[in-house]
Every structure is written in structure tokens, then in C-alpha cells.
Structure 1
């Protein structure tokens, strides 16, 4: 287990993951959300995002059923490769988005309905990066989340959903700001 201060960073669905994982962990000193979702306790991504117009990504998803080893079934979700650049990574070169489309990993459809049992952003400092051109998560939703969480810092950039790839310096700067804020306030 990691000892000492931790700054957790989550992108996209990873925002939900860090919100839940940091709950009750005193070593987590700040949360950084990069083009991320940030549901509250009892909310899911689906219920939260329903408050805003659907992002274009929703019309570019392909659902693929699967069977688990125990016989139960589920559904994986992929971005249709020919639409990935437009709705996910418009600020990357076509050669890179073609590779992303061919090598993407799915997300289980059920993940969109998972409800948080704790929301660490309620009692930890929050830093948010919003991609104004995000077509995967509505930027208005990301701004709503930042305001609701009383983010210490919200940075808006002209980026698609993959700002960590297309604008790594902006992402790095926000993470460093979160870490430095903690260090100065010790």
C-alpha cells in the first residue's frame, strides 16, 4: 500500500473510479478530473449525464454481447472505428485515431449504470480539466460537476475527449498545481 500523500487523477470513467476509491483514504490529498465524470453518492454516469443533452459519442457506440465463463451475459461497448476520430479524438492525427479505433478496449455497458456508494470529491480538493470540444462527455456536464464540487481550479482548453494525449502539458500543469497546492498547505 502506498504511504504518504497521494493525488489521484482520473480521465473519463476514471473520474468515477477515483471518486469512489479515495473515499475514506486520508492519504489522498486531491482529486484531478481530466475530461471526466464525477457522480455523487447514489448517482450513475447515466443518471448524471441525463441532465444534459447527450454527447455525440452516444450515437457512435457499438454494443457487442458476451458470455462470461459462468454462463451469465453482458454487453461490451466500443466506439465505431470509423467514427472514433470525430466523436472521441478530433484533435489527433488520422493515423493515430485509426490506430486507436483498431486497438480500443471496450467498457462494459453496465458501468454506465453503476452507482457510487461514496463521493470523495465532497471532502477533498478537486481540480478539473474540461475539453471544450469534448464529444464524449458534454462539456456543460463537466463544468456543472466542477461547480458542484467547488473545484479549486477549473481549466478549460480547446480539446477533444483525449486531452491527455493532445494537450499533455495542460494536463501535467493541472496535476502539478494540485500537488503543489497540497505541499504549500501542509
Structure 2
């Protein structure tokens, strides 16, 4: 191959790369005419499939949905994954977080595209506070005493805890699948502090699970009140998205409607 041919190929490759970057930048720019989309952030001991019952309901209403797959290695890593998902949306975003995912959206929700936040049985820390600090002064929920740590400090839930404390209102077979698909979380992540609190500047919705055995329901109610959220209380476990998907979808759709 001649030097000229090599140079031409390098120029072509550079041009192709530049085109890809331009397309990516264009996709990241908000389209003011685009319908609001939903980005869902799962919590600890779960993955994106935890929302498999709610997503079809939202899609049937014409809503674009993206479920983030959190690495669950640190708050910073999960926030970074969430921000990438937000940036990829065509327009405004309703950002939804479950459990630990509430801490993630509290931080990631400062993104310019985020119009509102939906907390589902979730933590909503103050700026400069960690998830662990948010629970101080409230009883430890039964399920929080059943974590199992591996040699590298990642926490998971045994099947009995998943069935009895995490998702006690779903069929046992479903809880078994949730056990198999759960994402272990690095224990140190619970001590990571949020850099800012998006709920101080953006409207919020909050679902309180009255039968929650992973986060004290009293703490959920207190957080919902503190952030001045539009609150819905369900007689459900820690995973209303699994046991009450239609009710959870309704709250998310209310937030979507409010952003139009």
C-alpha cells in the first residue's frame, strides 16, 4: 500500500469518526418538540427487569422508556450511567428512581433535560448527605438486617429475604426470579454523599409503600413531605412496580402529563 493510499484511508476514517461524533452530539441536544420520555433507575438487589410490568403500560401510552442498568459499584458510577441515559433522550425527561435509585436520581436529576422526579419507595437525601445518613433516627427495616456480603463487600439478599421482606406481595415463583436477577450492591455505596439535591428545584412525585420492609414507611412519608412531593400511598411491599404496576404507572404518567 502506498503512502498516499494510507493517508487517504486515515482521512476517510477520521471523517467517519467525526460524522459519528456529530450524530451523537445531535442526539444529545434536546428537541423542544419531542414528547417527554421516562428514564427509570432501579434500586439495589434488582436490575432493569424489575420494571418489566410498568414499562409496557407506559409504552402503550406512547411514552418512550429507558431502563438504566446500574453497575451498583458506587453512587458516582450509577449517577454517570443515569446521566448517559438522560443525555440520549430526545427531549424532556421524567426521571424515576426506586429505593437506592432515589439517591441516584436526587444527584443525576440536576441534568438540564430532567423536568421532574418520581420516587418509588425510594431515598431522597439532602445535598451532602448519604443514603445511610438519610435513615438515621428511624427504625431499621426488617429486610435491612438480612443482607449477605461477599468477599469484595457486595451485598445481596437471600431468597427467603427476597420473598419475605423485599417482595412479600408477589408470588413465590416471581420472587425466586427476582432473587436470580438481583444486582448486588457495593456496601460502601450507601455512605456515598450526593453532591446536590434535584428535588429542591424540580417538581417531585412520591409513592409510599405502606407495607415496606426494606425502608421504614415512616421514613418514606417523612421524605415525601420534606421534598414537598405529590404523594400516593399504596398498601404494597417495597416493590409496588411488581405488585401494583398499574398504580405506579399512573403516577409516572401524571408526571409525564405535567411536563407537556
TM-score (norm 2): 0.64
Number of equivalent positions: 173
Q: Deviation at 1:26?
A: 2.7
Q: CA RMSD in A?
A: 1.1
Partner of 2:150: 64
Query: If you compute each CA radius of gyration, which structure gives the higher value, 1 or 2?
Result: 2
Any conservation in 2 of the 1:130–1:157 contact (CA below 8 Å)? yes
Partner of 2:73: none
TM-score (norm 1): 0.89
Q: Deviation at 1:102?
A: 3.1
d(CA) in 1 for partners of 2:202, 2:112: 9
Partner of 1:28: 114
User: Aligned ranges for residues 109-148 of structure 1 at < 5 Å?
Assistant: 109-148=187-226
SS in 1 for 2:116: strand
Q: Does 1:49 align with 2:126?
A: no
SS in 2 for 1:91: coil
Partner of 1:92: 170
d(CA) in 1 for partners of 2:252, 2:181: 27
User: Aligned ranges for residues 107-186 of structure 1 at < 5 Å?
Assistant: 107-151=185-229, 153-183=230-260
4+ long deviations beyond 3 Å: none
SS in 2 for 1:65: coil
Deviations 1:163-185 (A, max 9, x none): 111111111000011111222xx
Partner of 2:126: 40
d(CA) in 2 for partners of 1:76, 1:50: 22
Any conservation in 2 of the 1:10–1:34 contact (CA below 8 Å)? yes
Partner of 2:105: 18
SS in 1 for 2:195: coil
Deviations 1:70-106 (A, max 9, x none): xxxxx00011222211110000001111222233220
More helix by share: 2
Greater relative CO (CA pairs within 8 A, separation 6+): 1
Structure 1: 5+ residue runs without aligned partners?
67-74
More strand by share: 1
